[in-house]
């Protein structure tokens, strides 16, 4: 399985460093960056497209994790989010924002282990569901998906299949909707993970 690409965002450098140390005990977790500035953190998420983000709720200059979640939604990208905070009263708001988990500071290694294991189970289930959903694709959607996984862009796919660019875009949207993935990046990552699993087997 590919490493779980992870970003930590917390306005306290000590908290970032401590969580990074704790995560180092999980060999399948790859911390891409730990960031103390919310703007830089958002930019890093959109640029690096991580699988998982550990996000403090109360950030600098009255920015909150929920502000970042809103901006991610506006950019049509949403990795799994684990909120990390010293304040338990945000739990209802966290649920409403559909975050993956909610951990109180100081982070306990045993609680972190439970959360990481839950996340691994979530990925495994998602991969299994993805395989089932592939059977729901039409023949044309399957052709488009195959070319997407080969790295071809929409114009190249349109030329190969003798269809319009708008039709390709429609097929791509339908593929994401039917397979339940949020972006092309996630689609490619699931495919790579499944390929790795087949090689191991």
Distances (CA, A) of 23 to 110, 112, 143, 196, 199: 12, 8, 40, 23, 27
Q: Is the pLDDT of residue 195 over 70?
A: no
**What ranges do the domains of the chain cover?**
4-125, 136-200
Residues 25-62: pLDDT tens digits? 999 999 999 999 999 999 999 999 998 999 999 999 99
Query: Residue 200 pLDDT > 50, yes or no?
Result: no
In the chain, pLDDT over 70 holds for what percent of residues? Answer: 85
- Predicted model pTM: 0.67
Q: In the structure encoding, which two tokens stand for residue 56, read together?
A: 């403090």
pLDDT band at 128 (very low <50, low <70, confident <90, very high): low
Residue 197 confidence (pLDDT):
45
Q: Is the pLDDT of residue 136 over 90?
A: no
CB 9 within 8 Å of CB 56: yes
In CATH, the number for domain 4-125 is 3.40.50.2300
The predicted structure's pLDDT at residue 83: 95
**Which tens digit of pLDDT belongs to each residue from 177-194?**
887 776 666 676 666 555
Distances 160 to 151, 152, 165, 184 between C-alpha atoms, Å? 13, 10, 11, 20
Higher pLDDT, 146 or 184: 146
The pLDDT, as a whole number, for residue 185 is 63
- Show the tokens assigned to 28: 């399948």
Can you list the positions of beta strands (E) in the chain?
4-9, 29-35, 52-56, 80-85, 101-104
* pLDDT tens figures, 81-123: 999 998 888 888 988 888 989 999 999 999 999 999 888 887 7
* pLDDT band of 129, cuts 50, 70, 90: low
pLDDT on residue 130 = 64
Is residue 73 over pLDDT 60?
A: yes
CATH of 136-200, one of 3.30.9.100, 1.10.10.10, 3.50.30.30, 1.10.150.130: 1.10.10.10
Between 1 and 65, name the one with better pLDDT: 65
């Amino acid at each position: 399985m590919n490493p779980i690409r992870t970003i930590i965002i917390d306005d306290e450098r000590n908290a970032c460093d401590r969580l990074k140390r704790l995560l180092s005990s999980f060999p399948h977790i790859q911390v891409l960056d730990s960031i103390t500035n919310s703007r830089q953190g958002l930019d890093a998420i959109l640029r690096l497209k991580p699988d998982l983000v550990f996000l403090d709720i109360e950030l600098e200059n009255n920015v909150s994790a929920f502000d970042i979640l809103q901006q991610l939604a506006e950019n049509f990208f949403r990795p799994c989010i684990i909120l990390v905070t010293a304040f338990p009263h945000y739990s209802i708001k966290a649920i409403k924002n559909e975050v993956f988990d909610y951990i109180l500071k100081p982070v306990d290694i045993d609680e972190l282990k439970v959360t990481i294991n839950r996340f691994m189970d979530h990925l495994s289930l998602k991969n299994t569901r993805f395989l089932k959903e592939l059977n729901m694709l039409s023949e044309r959607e399957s052709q488009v998906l195959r070319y997407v996984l080969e790295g071809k862009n929409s114009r190249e796919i349109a030329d190969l299949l003798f269809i319009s660019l708008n039709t390709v875009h429609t097929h791509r949207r339908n593929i994401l909707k039917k397979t339940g993935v949020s972006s092309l990046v996630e689609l490619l990552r699931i495919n790579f993970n499944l390929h790795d699993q087949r090689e191991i087997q």
